[in-house]
Amino acid sequence: MNELPAASLYLVRIPEIFSPFASALFERLGATPERALGKEYRLVRLADPARLSDSPAAKYLQWHLPVHHAWPCVPQKMEGFVEKAAQGIFRKFGEAAPQTILTGPLVAAAPHPYYRHLATNLRGRTLQLFPPMPAAGVDEQDPEAPTLFCLVGKEGLFCGLQSPRESNGFYPGGTKFIKQADDSVISRAGAKIAEALHYLRLHRPLPPKGAHWLELGASPGGMTSELLDRGYRVTAIDRAAMDKRLAGAEGLTVIRADVLNFSPSAGVKYDALLCDLNGDPRESIRSVARLARDLEPGGLVVFTLKLPNAESLEDCEALYQSVTAQAARSGLSLLAQTHLTYNRFELTLFFEAGAQDRA
């Protein structure tokens, strides 16, 4: 693969929920903002690009990309934009050997579909110019191999070559849209765990079909339903009742109990633990830490870090540090953390249980 010159600009995505902290984030990242793009993107200059991976502030960015090629323009007003853009992309990246090319709109949730369609057409034409690639699409990507990501919007075209893991997502912008049929959805939380599991593939394989999940605070069962649909077994703990549509579901055990008082039967082990409890996250992680003793070595923990009362980046960091310190004391290793599309004012943290004895 031919090396591209170092990028002078980076495209970063700050979730709208964290936009009030943008100035503090830029300061901690050593970033100089150049221009806002869409609702959530910023073009920035970085004194040290390594801070996108090693700065604590980086976890509040949903996605980021070095800009190796930019074409400021208004595509909707330009005749032949797709052909001109595709030819420009090929000239810039034709010898770079990306594993695939993925395109997306700068405003993913825009009500008008023009730029979604434009991104699709641009990918199709660009793929015709490049030789065959090893990854046919999103799910065939190697997390560590470079992908050519391109985003397009009313401000123009912005492209960069970087691995999905370095970018923090398999999709352009990191977004994983989960389609849910209204008549079958128990709650929006099902989309959250579906997106979390898709993101997890950046860092490790998913638990195999048949794996046993312990879910804390499961009612009404949106996440439970998603796990069951994937062929997992679930033990769901909650004081409240589960949705009636889950009655008698194969692979499901429901225990009506307060999480604080729940203890598994002797000898029972779980492959994964899911916690989306409301309330103080420091209390929630204490329950997770106690029950992590009942995970198999290498077991997975997916934990939603709620930040509802955090009024500053410092408040968020204090909660994060408290939660991750408690997890570490109980033998859980932090694997990854991110803000998912379906998160509100919260982060999703991923841990692995170690083989050692836990305090």
pLDDT for the residue numbered 179: 64
Residues 155, 226 within the same domain: no
Residues 6+ apart with CB under 8 A from 69: 88, 89, 92, 93, 157, 158, 159, 160
Q: Which strands sit side by side in the sheet containing 156-162, from one edge to the other?
A: 69-72, 156-162, 147-153, 101-105
- Helix, coil or strand: residue 34: strand
> What's the pLDDT band for 345 if we cut at 50, 70, 90?
very high
Number of domains in the chain: 2
Token representation of residue 320: 């994060």
pLDDT in tens, 100-143: 999 999 987 776 789 999 999 999 999 999 999 999 999 999 99
Residues 260, 118 within the same domain: no
**Is residue 183 in some structural domain?**
no
Q: Are 235 and 253 in contact (CB under 8 A)?
A: yes
In degrees and rounded to multiples of 5, residue 203 shows phi and psi of -120, -25
> CATH number of the domain that 97 lies in?
3.30.2130
- Helix (H) / strand (E) element for 327: namely helix 313-329
**Is residue 3 in some structural domain?**
no
**Is residue 156 in some structural domain?**
yes
Pair type for strands 332-338 and 346-353: antiparallel
Q: Are 329 and 311 in contact (CB under 8 A)?
A: no
**Is residue 46 in some structural domain?**
yes
Average pLDDT over residues 339-356: 89
pLDDT for the residue numbered 184: 65
Cα separation of 254 and 247, whole Å?
Answer: 9
**Is residue 299 in some structural domain?**
yes
**Is residue 93 in some structural domain?**
yes
Token representation of residue 277: 């409890």
**7: closest CA among 219, 166, 211?**
166
User: Residue 122 belongs to what domain range?
Assistant: 9-174
Q: Maximum distance among all alpha carbons in the chain? A: 70
pLDDT for the residue numbered 211: 98
Residues 84, 219 within the same domain: no
pLDDT in tens, 275-321: 999 999 999 999 999 999 999 999 999 999 999 888 999 999 999 99
Residues 162, 193 within the same domain: no
Token representation of residue 153: 């919007």
> What's the pLDDT band for 357 if we cut at 50, 70, 90?
very low
Please count the CA atoms within 13 angstroms of the CA of 64 that sit on its side-chain side: 26
Token representation of residue 243: 């949705």
**Is residue 301 in some structural domain?**
yes
Cα separation of 202 and 170, whole Å?
Answer: 8
pLDDT in tens, 210-234: 999 999 999 999 999 999 999 999 9
Q: Which residue, 147, 174, 201, sits at the end of a domain? A: 174
Q: Are 112 and 118 in contact (CB under 8 A)?
A: no
pLDDT for the residue numbered 212: 98
Task: Record the pTM.
Answer: 0.93
pLDDT for the residue numbered 155: 95
pLDDT in tens, 4-50: 888 899 999 999 999 999 999 999 999 999 999 988 999 999 999 99
Residues 73, 104 within the same domain: yes
**150: closest CA among 69, 32, 34?**
69
Cα separation of 268 and 258, whole Å?
Answer: 19
**Is residue 184 in some structural domain?**
no
Residues 251, 143 within the same domain: no
**Mean pLDDT over each residue of the chain, to the nearest integer:** 93
Residues 140, 214 within the same domain: no
DSSP string, 145-175: S-EEEEEEETTEEEEEEE-HHHHT-SSGGG-
pLDDT in tens, 174-207: 877 666 655 567 777 888 999 999 999 999 999 9
pLDDT for the residue numbered 182: 58
pLDDT for the residue numbered 356: 44
**307: closest CA among 60, 24, 27, 28?**
60
Residue 258 CB-density burial (10 A; 0-12 exposed, 13-18 middle, 19+ buried): exposed
Least confident of 67-71, 245-249, 252-256, 354-358: 354-358
Q: Which residue, 174, 209, 242, sits at the end of a domain? A: 174
Residues 151, 212 within the same domain: no
- 359 vs 319: which has the higher pLDDT: 319
pLDDT for the residue numbered 177: 66
pLDDT for the residue numbered 354: 86
